[in-house]
Amino acid sequence: MDVQRNVSNKDKIQEIGAELERLVSENKELCLLLHMMNDKYTTLRAHVEKKREEMNSVNQSCSSHNLIHRQPIEKIKSKSTRILVRTKEDNTSLVVKDGYHWRKYGQKIIKDNPSPRAYFRCSMAPKCHVKKKVQRSADDKSVLVATYQGEHNHPLPGELAGVTSLPNVSSTGLMSELSCSTSGDRSLPAVNLDLTLCGSNHEG
């Protein structure tokens, strides 16, 4: 009886030992698989981080590129000013006396207005990029419409030196009604001036 019991216990011990060996072997396989998955995860994460950095770099580059190309357009629009100048009935010139020196570089006929439009560029400083276009009003031939684009980077000559905003005209040339706007819209309010009272001007 005791012999049978000992044999039975021995068999159980062997079974438990075999099961333990199986579990140990299975555990080793699971550990190896876990290490492999961890290595793959680390590699994949590094790849994702690299791609994310590349995309951020491209986005920043595109944003900088767009900003650089938009700024000049926005700056021109924000520095656009239009003025209305009353002239004598017999005056047929397209000269607006605002105190600056201008060089005429073109003239053409615009649709819906028989009066030609003259184009001028400031000639007082080599790096001044201010432009001016002058045309008679289609509704009133005695009124000149002058549109300025840009901002002077130099002072006015003579007694008005130091004034750099647009338009720069002698205060004696201002009429009683005065309104000004810095916008690119053609419908903006205008500064009304009397050309016959303005100071000297050089346009050619």
Check: CB of residue 93 under 8 Å from CB of residue 195.
no
* Full strand arrangement of the beta sheet holding 101-110: 174-178, 191-194, 80-86, 143-149, 131-136, 113-122, 101-110, 202-203
DSSP 187: T
pTM here is 0.47
Q: Are strands 101-110 and 202-203 parallel, antiparallel or unpaired?
A: parallel
Give the closest residue to 203 by CA, choosing from 129, 137, 79, 105: 105
Burial classification of residue 118, based on how many CB atoms lie within 10 Å of its CB (0-12 exposed, 13-18 middle, 19 or more buried):
buried
One pLDDT digit (tens) per residue for the chain, 204 residues: 566 666 678 888 888 988 999 999 999 999 999 999 999 999 999 999 999 898 888 888 777 666 666 655 555 455 788 999 988 877 888 989 888 999 999 999 988 888 899 999 999 988 898 999 999 998 888 899 999 999 888 887 764 444 334 444 433 333 333 333 334 444 444 444 544 434 445 566
